[in-house]
Amino acid sequence: MNVDLSESWAIGGVPIPTRLVLAPMAGVSVQAFRRQGRRYGAGLVCSEMVSVAGIAHRNERTLGYLRVASDEHPLAIQIFGSEPGAMAEAARMVEAAGADIVDINFGCPVKKVTKTGAGASLLDDPDQAARIVSAVAEATPLPVSVKMRRGTANGSRDCLVVGPRLVEAGAACLTLHPRSARQMYTGTADHSLTAELVELVDVPVIASGDVTSRARAQAVLATTGASAVMVGRAAQGNPWALAEIMGLATAEPTREEIVAELLLFMRETVRELGTERATGFLKKFYGWYLGRGRFPKPFKQELVTLPTLAEVETRLLAAAPGARDVLDRLEAELPEVDEVLLDSLPISLYGGG
**Segment 308-317, tens digit of pLDDT:** 999 999 999 9
123 and 30 inside one domain: yes
82 and 227 inside one domain: yes
339: pLDDT strictly greater than 70: no
Q: What whole-number distance in Å separates Cα of residue 341 and Cα of residue 191?
A: 40
- The beta strands (E) that lie in 185-339 are given as 205-208, 228-231
pLDDT at residue number 148: 97
Q: Write out pLDDT tens, residues 135-148.
A: 999 999 999 999 99
pLDDT at residue number 344: 44
Q: Write out pLDDT tens, residues 11-41.
A: 999 999 999 999 999 999 999 999 999 999 9
* CATH code of residue 155: 3.20.20.70
pTM: 0.93
CB 98 within 8 A of CB 65: no
121: nearest Cα among 112, 332, 223, 94: 112
pLDDT at residue number 2: 79
Active site residues: 108
Q: What whole-number distance in Å separates Cα of residue 100 and Cα of residue 266?
A: 26
Q: Are strands 14-16 and 9-11 parallel, antiparallel or unpaired?
A: antiparallel
346: pLDDT strictly greater than 70: no
Domain count, the chain: 2
pLDDT at residue number 347: 34
Q: Which domain holds residue 286?
A: 255-333
209 and 300 inside one domain: no
Q: Pick the range with the lowest mean pLDDT from 2-6, 85-89, 219-223, 228-232.
A: 2-6
Residue 350 belongs to a domain: no
Q: Write out pLDDT tens, residues 188-228.
A: 999 999 999 999 999 999 999 999 999 999 999 999 999 99
pLDDT at residue number 29: 95
50 and 194 inside one domain: yes
CB 282 within 8 A of CB 80: no
Which region, left, alpha or beta, applies to residue 184 given φ > 0 means left and ψ of -120 to 50 means alpha?
A: left
Residue 105 belongs to a domain: yes
